[in-house]
Amino acid sequence: MRILQLSSDWKWTGPAEPMVVLTRALRARGHGVELVCPPPPPEANRSLWEEARARGVEPVAALERGRSALRPGDGAVVTRLRRWLHDDADGAPFDVVHCWHGRDHVLAARALRRLRGRPPRRGLQRAGSPAIVRSLASAEPVAAWPWNRWLLGPACDGLICVSRSAREAQRPLRGGRPIAAVPGAVEAERLRSGRDPQGDRRERTAMRTRLGIAAGAPVIGVVARIQRHRRFDLLLEAMQRLIRARPDARLVLIGRGTHAETVAAEPARRMGLSAHVVFAGYRVADYAALLRCLDVFCFLVPGSDGSCRALLEAATVGLPLVGTRRGAIAEIIRDGETGELVDEDPEHLARAWLRLIEDPARRRALGEAAARDARRRFTPEGLAASVEALYAEAMRTQRR
């Protein structure tokens, strides 16, 4: 297949990494896959453009930066996109355009309206109109407004959801059109230490020393953008209860956020948790090493990437998992096998942490099971195979 991955967001966040992982995996399966995305602004720190290039996915063209679905001047963008979709340097049209955001989806839908119904290009046996596929990052039901019914209905030949529950929630918008539940994936080699067990222990001790954590202290880790809706209030209330039984326990918060001070730092001080909560910030180079120094991983609320990539990464490195039943979390964690699912209650959460902290053998068994499960269910190869099947179904539907 010839596939165009299309993104209107320049940022390295949310669906950006899954798109690059999918592109690499589809290429490994023999497909021709190209990327079109916006270049970053001059002041950007990390961007989709640069991260994709670093992983061997060179963008073939630039799309203007923007978030609104409809903007003045979009007619020229649609015209240029139509040429990308229908033709490229070697004259081969694309079979699929895969969209990841509302704006790029609208632009692609407008471009395809101009293509569909055109006669086949000279020398080709099929019309040059690709199927349009959309990845929906959110697990929440989409409101059945007329705009959404059009965009996720007739304007979409195939819809990819992050979980089975999300698929069922969006199914009424599809009108019988192809829809699939496709879990996320992790490139495991990017998280491996490459060390022997003794080296891993030295790395773990060194990382904890840098964080100001004693070598034997039980450590619970959270990776999440620090935002109000991510339930940092629940985390801190559970930690307040946990230290009554285990005053040596530490909670490591990995991530950043515009409102980090008011959402987490100031409440932690007010609750007397300053010595027990470590703000590790946003990490890149030593992110995997930081994950490997944890004892338990906790994930409460999906962010902009509904596939819960951080949870998949924690499973991949062999951490026991604790999470709520929100979105894809309940389908990632196998309750009692790879971790524990808990109610959104501080007492329940604290008890789950304490059970794992005080039972090293069970903690180790759950972590090993989580790693095996991740190697089986959350691989780039599995992701590509599932998406490839949806592409094929979407192409059949579009041609009918």
Residue 126 to residues 86, 95, 113, 114, 116, Cα–Cα distance (Å): 12, 10, 17, 16, 12
Residue 30 to residues 1, 23, 97, 134, Cα–Cα distance (Å): 8, 11, 17, 21
> What is residue 66's predicted lDDT score, i.e. its pLDDT?
75
Point out the residues of the chain with pLDDT beneath 50: 89, 117-126
> What is residue 80's predicted lDDT score, i.e. its pLDDT?
85
Residues 6+ apart with CB under 8 A from 165: 139, 327, 328, 330, 331
What is the distance between the alpha carbons of residues 242 and 275, in angstroms, rounded to a whole number?
Answer: 13
Q: List pLDDT tens digits, range 268-286.
A: 999 999 999 999 999 988 9
pTM of this structure:
0.90
> φ and ψ at 239, to 5 degrees?
-65, -40
> What is residue 117's predicted lDDT score, i.e. its pLDDT?
46
Set out the domains of the chain in order of their start, with CATH numbers: 2-185+380-399 (3.40.50.2000), 188-377 (3.40.50.2000)
Q: Tell how far CA 107 is from the center of its chain.
A: 23
> What is residue 88's predicted lDDT score, i.e. its pLDDT?
54
Q: Tell how far CA 8 is from the center of its chain.
A: 16
Q: Which H helix or E strand runs over 112?
A: helix 102-115
> What is residue 128's predicted lDDT score, i.e. its pLDDT?
55
What is the distance between the alpha carbons of residues 6 and 38, in angstroms, rounded to a whole number?
Answer: 9
> What is residue 68's predicted lDDT score, i.e. its pLDDT?
74
> φ and ψ at 42, to 5 degrees?
-55, -30
Distance separating the N- and C-terminal Cα atoms of the chain: 18
Q: List pLDDT tens digits, range 132-142.
A: 999 998 888 88
What is the distance between the alpha carbons of residues 276 and 244, in angstroms, rounded to a whole number?
Answer: 12
